[in-house]
Amino acid sequence: MRIIFTIAIVFLVMSCNGVEKPIVRNQSTGHALGTTYNIIYMSNDTIHLDKEIDSVFNAVNNSLSTYIPDSDISKINRRDSTIQVDKMFQDVFLLSKKIYQETNGYFDPTVGSLVNAWGFGPEEKIMMDSVKVDSLLQYVGFDKVSITENNYIVKENPDVYFDFNAIAKGYAIDRIGVMLTEEGITDYLVEVGGELIAKGLNTSKNKAWIVGIDDPQVENGRSLKLKIALENRALASSGNYRKFRIDEETGRKYVHTVDPKTGFTKDSNTLGVTILANDCATADAFATAFMAMDLEDAFMIINENKELEAYIIYLDNKGNTKEFLTSGFKKVVVE
């Protein structure tokens, strides 16, 4: 009887443990980093992580936002050499240095002086000509800056102006992902301003996270170009979707972005770039770099870098819209 009683208890415990708890779809939305965010995280119980999410955004802003006057980066841009930068600044600085080298200088966060001068940054816009561009180019070049063992920033020229906006949003998304993982969340989708990181599955539907990529040629409103299944990957897009000029003689469209090599806004036939990578900061940076360089150079880097998958929409020499997809990107497209 004792044996039968013991077996019954074990069976009862196993039965209780075997009952599957319902999946709860938790969601946090709001505004941060000058845009909107939407974060979905799955769990067995209703949980609220709004405070933790806000804390990550605040930490990123205090370290890396050029729009906050007392952030570390703003102080460094004002020639303050006494700032001992935090872990976030260190991470972004070192990753930027790596991608700067891998893109032959087309990803360059020291381009901030030019970004401001052309009217795309927080500082005052100025009237630009070749003389002024040349005068600002002396402050551009990530090989002109370094970080010491004690985490102080060293500039060859004190007027070098950092602008990490092309990588900081992706990095913030990664940090939110880390926070969710530390909270025990294994299935989540973090979206900030159209950039994403997905982990695990959309367990409420028991399938990968399905996300859309905007059509860069739709000038009014939004229309999806395609959908992809995103699982344990990050996605970032870059493009001057609605900022272009038309050549009066040929009728060809050109989009604009700041070229860190020449200092001028660059005529390009690249409409939009979407990159998949293991982390969103990397995807963010490469997407920006590929908008600044010639298509042939972008294709070469993509083919050499096995971590990246890419989807590029561009115009050929006749103005026709073309698409380039790596084999890995094609595999995640949802028909």
Class of domain 57-165: mainly alpha
Q: What's the average model confidence in pLDDT over 58-63? A: 98
The residue among 165, 173, 62, 60 whose CA lies nearest residue 120 is 165
Q: What's the average model confidence in pLDDT over 58-72? A: 97
pTM of the model: 0.88
pLDDT tops 60 at residue 66: yes
Q: Which residue has the higher pLDDT, 158 or 3?
A: 158
- Distance separating alpha carbons of residues 281 and 236, to the nearest angstrom: 8
Torsion over CA: 44, 50, 52, 56 (sign): positive
**Residue 127: its pLDDT value, please?**
81
**Residue 16: its pLDDT value, please?**
47
- Domain ranges (residues) in the chain: 57-165, 167-334
Q: What is the pLDDT of residues 109-144, one digit of tens each?
A: 999 888 888 877 787 888 878 888 888 999 999 999
DSSP characters for 74-128?
Answer: HHHHTT----B--HHHHHHHHHHHHHHHHTTTSS-GGGHHHHHHTT-SSS-----
* Res. 172 pLDDT band, cuts 50 70 90: very high
- Distance separating alpha carbons of residues 305 and 278, to the nearest angstrom: 12
Which amino acid is located at 169 in the chain?
K
pLDDT tops 80 at residue 329: yes
Q: String of b and e for 26-55 (b: at least 16 CB within 10 Å)?
A: bebeeebbeeebebbbbbeeeeebeeebee
**Residue 14: its pLDDT value, please?**
41
The residue among 22, 23, 24, 21 whose CA lies nearest residue 48 is 24
Q: Which residues pair with 238 in a beta bridge?
A: 273
Q: What's the average model confidence in pLDDT over 224-238? A: 94
Q: What is the pLDDT of residues 293-324, one digit of tens each?
A: 999 999 999 999 999 999 999 988 888 899 99
**Residue 303: its pLDDT value, please?**
94
Pick from 99-103, 267-271, 322-326: least confident: 267-271
**Residue 269: its pLDDT value, please?**
84
**Residue 250: its pLDDT value, please?**
63
Mean of per-residue pLDDT scores for the chain? 88
Hey, is 299 helix, strand or coil?
Answer: helix
**Residue 214: its pLDDT value, please?**
83
**Residue 211: its pLDDT value, please?**
95
Q: What tokens does 242 get? A: 């609605």
**Residue 256: its pLDDT value, please?**
60
Percent of the chain with pLDDT over 70: 87
Cβ(201)–Cβ(231) under 8 Å?
yes
* Res. 12 pLDDT band, cuts 50 70 90: very low
CB-CB neighbours of 295 under 10 Å:
18
List of residues 6+ apart from 134 with CB closer than 8 A: 263
The residue among 166, 171, 173, 164 whose CA lies nearest residue 74 is 164
Domain 167-334 annotated CATH 3.10.520.10: yes
Cβ(176)–Cβ(38) under 8 Å?
no
**Residue 225: its pLDDT value, please?**
87
Q: What's the average model confidence in pLDDT over 189-199? A: 97
**Residue 264: its pLDDT value, please?**
85
Q: Which residues pair with 313 in a beta bridge?
A: 272, 323
Q: Which residue has the higher pLDDT, 126 or 279?
A: 279
- Distance separating alpha carbons of residues 5 and 283, to the nearest angstrom: 59
- Distance separating alpha carbons of residues 242 and 257, to the nearest angstrom: 12
3-state percent helix, strand, coil for the chain, nearest multiple of 5: 35, 25, 40
In this structure, the strands spanning 333-334 and 224-230 are antiparallel
Q: Which residues pair with 253 in a beta bridge?
A: 246
Q: Which residue has the higher pLDDT, 330 or 10?
A: 330
Q: What's the average model confidence in pLDDT over 47-63? A: 97
Same fold, 57-165 and 167-334: no
